[in-house]
Structure 1
């Protein structure tokens, strides 16, 4: 008991010395999970699907830097699979980072748009020039890709005056920003057959990210929950009205597939 009391007293002293540390606790995965269960006690995860159900072609070649902040190879393959469909002709993404996602999609779609904070705004926020200037370093290699420098908190999505076949939401991953981006996308940018993909629905293919999960559920509305899925072996959630065969998520399920990855690399500049 004395050990627990000492820990509590130490915690209080640390918080009093640096109150901002309380945010680490409030933003922790455990707190996010408890908050999620309060609002969605009957939701444990999204139903899972095989990527093969989402397209006729499963691309085998993916370009990636394999660095921090990027997507899994299977995430990029998911987007490429959707982009390769005959009924997908336009793509919009929120959150560019180095541009790997939109670059891979642009192999299949000419009409690609990506929205991200401008380098000037990122620098004004105190982010390092090296970080700001890495945004779009791959996607800028394709002149067909339209890069829009804007903050989605204030950007007028209606000004795009367009409905997109495929939308990828991969901006800031706080509950507030995922909710903001999701609500605006569903209000302004979708038609009946649009597909939406969210990145970082999960920390890993077997570990949900609950603040993002809750923002997705809140953002799409109850009427759309039945159209949400988790493609296996990815960090993504998908919205599609296409009827799909799904299975319940089982964190301890034995692997059913093994992936063979052939890696090649070349200099980049």
Structure 2
């Protein structure tokens, strides 16, 4: 019976995907948000024509974190917009290796990464995370790429832990949800207090520059860990980090972890 249900489920998805592709290539390409999907299809099948080339030196994650430490991965099943399972493992290893007392996530989305940060961090750790509220998604202060809009326009932020029973998911008590546009949010109460920052919000050049400079100010005494997601995936991320690493001495020590984190 389970096998039959899986087959039926696949057939439904196949037909839906086929019809969607027909629409995409016959009509949908007129709209910029759909042209982004065509680009993603090309990347998936091996045609990855990037306008911005990565320039930051690569490093193996095994040279940075202790890969022997046990980590917990919750909500391993990913969705479009999430980190990959491999990336989530590396992020969790950073937490386990360096034991930050305070973590700040710039970009919450559905809260999958945020929840994993909470579960793998110290018992007394605090996980701050910021995202746009539903009522404030249009218009953002800075430029937002068409491909980002589907991640911004969501009904619930942090749905992976939102309204979850604290008895079942006690780690959610570590999470402090903030709302606002990072280009105009008042970060002053959090500056110089954070040990680790994870930047995975809007992927435009303008927002990545903004969020990266904020991340540096968040670090306690300017020291700690900043992780960025989607370098060498989104051109805006790649361009912004290339420039920061070359032009700002405080970012000279950046490196590109193999495996896309």
TM band (smaller chain): 0.5 to 0.7
Return the offset for 1:199: 0.6
Contact 2:194 2:218 in 1 (8 A): no
Contact 1:51 1:231 in 2 (8 A): no
The Cα offsets for residues 69-123 of structure 1, whole Å up to 9 and x where unpaired, read as 1111111111111111354211000110110111001012431100000122237
Unaligned 5+ runs, structure 2: 1-29, 141-148, 165-171
Counterparts of 1:102-251 in structure 2, within 5 Å, are 102-107=114-119, 108-109=121-122, 110-122=125-137, 131-140=153-162, 141=164, 142-203=172-233, 209-219=234-244, 221-233=247-259, 235-236=260-261
Correspondence for 2:58 among 41, 47, 60: 47
Going from structure 1 to structure 2, the CA distance change for 1:48 and 1:193 (only over 3 Å counts) comes to same
Higher-helix-fraction structure: 2
> What corresponds to 1:6 in structure 2?
none
Correspondence for 1:98 among 105, 110, 129: 110
Partners of 1:201 and 1:124 in 2: how far apart? 25
Unaligned 5+ runs, structure 1: 1-17, 38-42, 204-208, 237-269
Return the offset for 1:137: 1.1
| Greater Cα shift, 100-109 or 139-148 | 139-148
TM-score (norm 2): 0.65
Going from structure 1 to structure 2, the CA distance change for 1:75 and 1:56 (only over 3 Å counts) comes to closer
Equivalent pairs, count? 203
SS at 1:54 equivalent: coil
Partners of 1:215 and 1:201 in 2: how far apart? 9
Correspondence for 2:96 among 52, 59, 84: 84
Higher-strand-fraction structure: 1
